[in-house]
Structure 1
Amino acid sequence: MRCPYCAHNETQVVETRESDEGDVIRRRRRCLKCDKRFTTYERAEIALPAVVKKDGARVEYDPAKPRSSMMLALRKRPVSVEQVDAALERIQDKLLATGAREVPSSRIGELVMRELKRIDKVAYVRFASVYRSFEDVDAFRQLIRDI
């Protein structure tokens, strides 16, 4: 670790502490050249897969997109923010568990639909009607029958 005061490359770890949640490590360091102390924080970097859109474009996964889609479908529904956060966490966990470097956007849409079906059937129907862009009433009727 480079010293922020003198830019020397050799430092010594004096103290290490884990955060309460266990997701961050705080280290107190001492520069071996100028003897000044400073603090560093270490956090695990989670590499979510890139999203491959319908047109073939590849973009970085943005957790705000499935959140906004879910919140729109859940508008005026009795679902707590905690339930939405838990659903989004499950979606991210499933994406990470695949180990894939890329995932089609349709897969994310299916995961969102599955979570909405789990927490609120009306929101699921709202989302599915837009996501699957039903052309006729029969396809919509079939979706409702499946629930």
Structure 2
Amino acid sequence: MKCPYCGFDDSKVIDSRPKENKIKRRRECTKCLARFTTFEAVEKPLLMVEKKSGMYEPFDSSKLIKGIYSAIKKRPVTYDQVEDIANYVENHFANDLKTVAKSREIGELVLEKLREIDLIAYIRFASVYEEFTDIASFVEMISELERKNTAPDDKLLEVNENA
């Protein structure tokens, strides 16, 4: 890191701490001993979303957050949880070094997270995402959720059998 005062190429880190999704570092030039602050942020690759129509557009987390918000209206889901879902989706593709994601993959990741947080929000999001065309498909999804939530837990059965 070049010193902003003398231009020398070497500095040492005196203090480092996280601040607003960045890392704030206090540095000291090893030549002139001047101190200065730098900020580090992780650079994420540009993620393109392939829409159902075959068109591409840049990933926009605010657009995803807006879509999730319509599903969580009047539900006990916090803004931080919604933001965490959007970050999870973006990081999922960045960690796999993918620069293109199908909108379907994004929707499935959101559904996975919403299911863990709030089943009503999950159903609301799924009703738009899955494009239900009739009541039967909507009822089928709810029935499937009920079956999964009332299915006996194998670990509980194992504990009860050993008692």
- Asked if these proteins are the same fold (TM beyond 0.5), I'd say yes
Instruction: Compute the displacement of 1:77 (Å).
Output: 0.9
Distance 2:15 2:50 in 1: 39
Q: Measure the CA separation in 1 of the matches of 2:33 and 2:95.
A: 44
* Other-structure match for 2:42: 44
Unmatched 5+ stretches in structure 2: 146-163
**Match of residue 115 from structure 1:** 113
Matched residue type, 1:127: F
- Report the alpha carbon displacement of residue 16 of structure 1 after superposing the two structures with TM: 4.2
Structure 2 counterpart of 1:142: 140
**Residue type matched to 2:98 in 1?**
A
CA distance in 2, matches of 1:4, 1:56: 48
- Gaps spanning 5+ residues in structure 1: where? none
Q: Which residue identity does 2:140 align to in structure 1?
A: Q
Task: Identify the structure with bigger relative contact order (alpha carbons < 8 Å, sequence gap 6+).
Answer: 1
Deviation at 1:3, TM superposition (A): 6.5
Which of these residues, 97, 100, 105, is aligned with residue 98 of structure 2? Answer: 100
Q: Identical aligned pairs, as a percentage?
A: 35
**Partner residue of 1:124?**
122
Displacement, 1:76? 0.5
Cα deviation, residue 23, structure 1: 4.4
Q: CA deviation at 1:15?
A: 4.1
Provide the rounded CA distance (Å) in 2 between the counterparts of 1:78 and 1:129: 19
Alignment of 1:5-84 (within 5 A): 10-20=8-18, 23-28=22-27, 30=29, 38-47=36-45, 49-84=47-82
TM-score (norm 2): 0.69
The number of residues matched between the two structures is 144
- Larger CA deviation: 56-65 vs 134-143: 56-65
What's the Cα RMSD here? 3.0
CA distance in 2, matches of 1:18, 1:3: 17
Q: How far is the alpha carbon of 1:54 from its aligned partner?
A: 2.3
TM-score by length of 1: 0.75
